Structure 1
Amino acid sequence: MYVLGIDVGTTGTKSMLINEKGDILCNAYKGYPLIKPGNNQVEQRAEDWWDAVVETVRKCTSVIEDKHNIKAISLSTQGGSLVPVDANCKPLSNVIVWMDSRAVDQRNELLKTYGKEMFYKKTGWNLSAGGNLVEIKWIHDNNKELFDKTYKFLSTIEYVNYKLTGEYVIDPSNAAMTNLININTAQWDEVLVEAAGIKEDRLPRVMESGAEIGTLTREAADELGLDTSVKVINGGHDQYCTAVGAGAFKPGEVFLATGTAWVILGTFQSPIFDTVKRIAPGRHIVKDLWGGLVSVPTGGVSMEWFRDNFALNVADSEGNITKESFKDIDMKASSVMKRAESVFFYPYYGGSRYPNYSSTTKASFMGLGLEHDRYDMALAIMEGVVFEAFSSIEHFEEKGCKADVLRVLGGASKSELWTNIISAVAGRPVIRFKEADVACIGAGIVAGVGCGMFKDYEEGYEKTIRGGKQTEASDELKQFYKNKYQRYRKGIQTIDDYYKEA
């Protein structure tokens, strides 16, 4: 017996074939471009999503003979991107991607009319210029012909669900990203839908994650090379699928995804609204659980910036010049920890975010002396990103989400130094996942539970992930970083005050 987990992301799609033992038999990836037609405009083709699904699924299933034993498919997807379609689900324009910000005027108009608190308390998110509500209003104001022709306004998951089953179906975690759902009821909100200038019949149906949407249409089955008996199980937003893949599906569990941005998701028994700190609550894929989501937008990109601008140029074995590796930077930075104990970095390239919101604050080093070099700076950058992430985890704990261990995946989990800093600052063990595509695995687990291949999410996780590598910093290092974190916190107000005056 097999299932397919599919992760339809912003720049590419991954598919993964998993058997009943939890073995990942094959995975495949196909990328696609972002289109930037103007200032603040980011688009892509919805057709690229489907083409990538077809190509990667066919590649995955090419490794087995008994394709008739593939029982289910589920999706993990990006959220908040908008595709207007006609009555046959044919895209009428390019997708407006979630990172697009052309609709700032429409966002400001809506905030002036309704106030920012209404949107947050209904949807769990601040009103975004890249959310579907605002994007729909932009189309109404700037392309009335397209607005009138549109049969359904869709995001990624329901577009692909329709291509698979002929049903327009979205899940609550993705629906929250549209700014059109009331997460308390898991239904489209009358006030929000009206604010977008449409009626509910122009939106997809909301179904719980894990529910069976239907089976493959004949057309989809033929394109994918599968049987029409394959079930399609409703999936979720990529961060919530990552929570399933990382085993964060019990109250109090936390995962830290360390990519270009760092994302922290905590698991709660009820929605956590915080109008000061702005945790984004949402319905978890696991029934009756909730997630709380925050991010450090410049997490991984901080070290990429350092490497691009400060790392040494080195020659490889063939004489080609390249930048020194992150592994070499780690090794050298780990040796200067004591020397750099008074060096701090605040990763506020685009202003400070959760939990200290300030649009005027900028990234800053403090405490550099003539005795310091590039590796003191590299260490301070790693520490600063961890400090920012930990301030979110502390706030989660105040709200009742107290994790005994942190689950870490992504780029930082490959770094012995960065992982050790995370453990030391958090004062607890860290589980590092070797699997790179945890959202895709999470979608596969959802498919497995939905078709009965796995008894529940916990069994799917234990069979598929099989644990990770657990590490814990020494007591001495924990105390070192406990002191340094307190000093870091004191510096935040100083920097904020400086840039406010500037």
Structure 2
Amino acid sequence: MAQTVKNEKCFLGIDVGTTTIKAVLCDRDARVLAQANRHCPTISPDLGRHEQEARLWQLYTVDVVRSALKDLPSGYSVAALSLSTQGGTMVPLDADFRPLQNAVLWKDVSCTEDRMAIEAILPQGYIYQQTGWGPNRGLNLLQIMRLCRENPDLFKATHYFASVPDYMNYYLCGRFAADHSNAGINQLGDVVNKVWDEKLLQQAGITVEQLPELVDSGTVLGTLTPQAAGDLGLSTDVLVVAGGHDQNCVALGSGTILPGSTSIGSGTAWVVLAVTEDQERLSRSGFSFSRHVIDDTWTSMISLSTGGTYLEWWRNHLVAASELPPFDLIDAQVEVSLDLADELLFVPSSPYSFTGAHNLPQGATFLGLDEKHQAYDLARAIMEGVAFQALLNLKRLNNGWPERITFTGGATKSPIWPDIVAAAADRPLILPEVKDSGAYGAALLAGISTGYFSDLKELSDMLAERGTIIEPQPYRLTNTVRRFALYKDIND
């Protein structure tokens, strides 16, 4: 049964992430009313290859939206919705917009041959200057080239080459459209001129007609189709608003909105992000850059792509226990280890790196390790090392230290990790009130685009005021501060 129309309007944000689909409903005061999430499995058919069933994005979106609506207080109806999406994922579609195979995920790294081929043809730096993202071993451009090389029959049968936002927008409102922040990470769009790049399309062997319409984030695309409205339990009057790449929606949801604001997002990847109006400086910086979901602003990013996996590696390989220790136990033991006046460092990416016992992730190393160290000392070193590297990335990205730092993601659930970041940076941290910042940012974007939250500075200040402030405590973490100084020395 469709949702009954009420007097109070609210906004729906949907985050179609790599491993989780989330929904958040917020009111006109930006307060969360209800939320839900569901795990979305991925598939690894071969080494370096990562896929996902595209139909699950639609099915699980229906599931989480209906779950959230069950908890929505009476008196509210959804006025508009928007999407936060993983970027750089490609799915080939037939003429009726149905998937012809599994989607190839952004983290797929099986396109080395195609990267070498295109770099031999295009001028050096061309892909980065046009799209804001340097050549990788995956993402849509190279994924399409690999499809043509490995499966030419399927390539010829493909009518449209879709990514997550345009696939979902077509389902929701019947409009095959993508935003510019996603067009950039797809490495097919000219993000400065807001068009598909003809030279990149030529290298991929495709035409503009096979790609979605490009629109600004915040564009009202239409209203829910009867099919989508019935599936979701919503009215056909609900507006569908073009969303953005998940990192940009996380930035909006955490209050990283105005030029000069910065954030560190902690998850599988630790992503440092800054907002600016100076696109020309960004294109000279070498950092990944993208159009923000807010008009006339840009975001630049540095990603420590495996930052969140190191502690999981430690749990799986270095703990002599019958079962994995809970994170509250890890925090308690690490807090004791913080008092050690040693020089044990963990370097996530180092010229001294090696791959040794227990399959230590390649590119990472421990320095100063000796026989006196216990397992939880290594956990402490990992937590410090990931925080230290993120802070150095932030300083590079921001060309100096910001006055304050917004800290989001899974590490904010730890009582120790935010203290480490604040003490090393000697800056206060803001931990946003809403933890699922991607879906929440999409909900705020839906509100902004329909006339609410029009004062962005007021919105940014309000989100900061609602967050938790973590003041630096260098006097309590003197050893952490000293180890950060050592870490900076080895990175100079």
TM-score (norm 1): 0.88
Residues 110-145 of structure 1: CA distance to partner in whole angstroms, max 9, x if unpaired? 011114411111111112232111111122222222
Q: Is residue 230 of structure 2 the alignment partner of residue 229 of structure 1?
A: no
Residue correspondence of structure 1 range 4-15 to structure 2 within 5 A: 4-15=12-23
1:324 maps to a residue whose letter is: P
In the alignment, what sits opposite 2:34? 26
- Name which of 220, 232, 242 aligns with 1:212: 220
Q: In 2, Cα distance between the equivalents of 1:173 and 1:252?
A: 19
Q: Is residue 112 of structure 2 the alignment partner of residue 104 of structure 1?
A: yes
Q: Is residue 312 of structure 2 the alignment partner of residue 304 of structure 1?
A: yes
Are the counterparts in 2 of residues 169 and 207 from structure 1 also a CA contact under 8 Å? Answer: yes
Does the residue aligned with 1:348 lie in a helix, a strand or coil? coil
Residues 342-384 of structure 1: CA distance to partner in whole angstroms, max 9, x if unpaired? 11111239998xxxxxxx9732222234433223222221111
Q: In 2, Cα distance between the equivalents of 1:483 and 1:340?
A: 9
Residue correspondence of structure 1 range 472-483 to structure 2 within 5 A: 472-476=471-475, 481-483=480-482
Which stretch shows the higher mean deviation, 221-230 or 77-86?
Answer: 221-230
Q: 1:27 and 1:91, CA in 2 relative to 1: closer, same or farther beyond 3 A?
A: same
In the alignment, what sits opposite 2:414? 415
In the alignment, what sits opposite 1:490? 489
In the alignment, what sits opposite 2:164? 156
In the alignment, what sits opposite 2:367? 366
Q: Is residue 441 of structure 2 the alignment partner of residue 433 of structure 1?
A: no
Are the counterparts in 1 of residues 266 and 407 from structure 2 also a CA contact under 8 Å? Answer: yes
Residues 384-436 of structure 1: CA distance to partner in whole angstroms, max 9, x if unpaired? 111111111111232xx752111111222122222111011111001123533
Q: Aligned residues: percent identity? A: 34
Deviation of 1:277 (Å): 7.0
Residues 84-120 of structure 1: CA distance to partner in whole angstroms, max 9, x if unpaired? 1122211122111112223221111001111441111
Deviation of 1:486 (Å): 3.2
Q: In 2, Cα distance between the equivalents of 1:66 and 1:326?
A: 37
Q: In 1, Cα distance between the equivalents of 2:62 and 2:328?
A: 37
Q: 1:302 and 1:276, CA in 2 relative to 1: closer, same or farther beyond 3 A?
A: farther
In the alignment, what sits opposite 1:16? 24
Q: Is residue 245 of structure 2 the alignment partner of residue 246 of structure 1?
A: no
Deviation of 1:473 (Å): 1.9
Are the counterparts in 2 of residues 21 and 464 from structure 1 also a CA contact under 8 Å? Answer: no
1:92 maps to a residue whose letter is: L
Deviation of 1:478 (Å): 7.4
Does the residue aligned with 1:114 lie in a helix, a strand or coil? coil
Q: In 2, Cα distance between the equivalents of 1:339 and 1:198?
A: 59
In the alignment, what sits opposite 2:266? 258
Q: In 2, Cα distance between the equivalents of 1:232 and 1:456?
A: 21
Unmatched segments (≥5 aa) in structure 1: 314-320, 353-359, 494-502
Residue correspondence of structure 1 range 336-355 to structure 2 within 5 A: 336-348=337-349
Are the counterparts in 1 of residues 289 and 299 from structure 2 also a CA contact under 8 Å? Answer: yes
Residues 27-63 of structure 1: CA distance to partner in whole angstroms, max 9, x if unpaired? 1222332122333322211111111111222222234
Which stretch shows the higher mean deviation, 473-482 or 321-330?
Answer: 473-482
Residue correspondence of structure 1 range 83-482 to structure 2 within 5 A: 83-271=91-279, 278-313=286-321, 321-348=322-349, 362-398=363-399, 402-458=401-457, 467-476=466-475, 481-482=480-481
Are the counterparts in 2 of residues 7 and 77 from structure 1 also a CA contact under 8 Å? Answer: yes
Q: In 2, Cα distance between the equivalents of 1:349 and 1:67?
A: 56
Deviation of 1:323 (Å): 3.0
Q: In 2, Cα distance between the equivalents of 1:461 and 1:491?
A: 36
1:346 maps to a residue whose letter is: V
1:142 maps to a residue whose letter is: E
Which stretch shows the higher mean deviation, 69-78 or 263-272?
Answer: 263-272
1:409 maps to a residue whose letter is: T
Q: In 1, Cα distance between the equivalents of 2:384 and 2:127?
A: 34
Deviation of 1:458 (Å): 4.7
Deviation of 1:239 (Å): 0.4
Deviation of 1:274 (Å): 6.7
Unmatched segments (≥5 aa) in structure 2: 1-8, 354-360
Q: 1:54 and 1:491, CA in 2 relative to 1: closer, same or farther beyond 3 A?
A: same
Are the counterparts in 2 of residues 101 and 129 from structure 1 also a CA contact under 8 Å? Answer: yes
Q: 1:69 and 1:351, CA in 2 relative to 1: closer, same or farther beyond 3 A?
A: farther
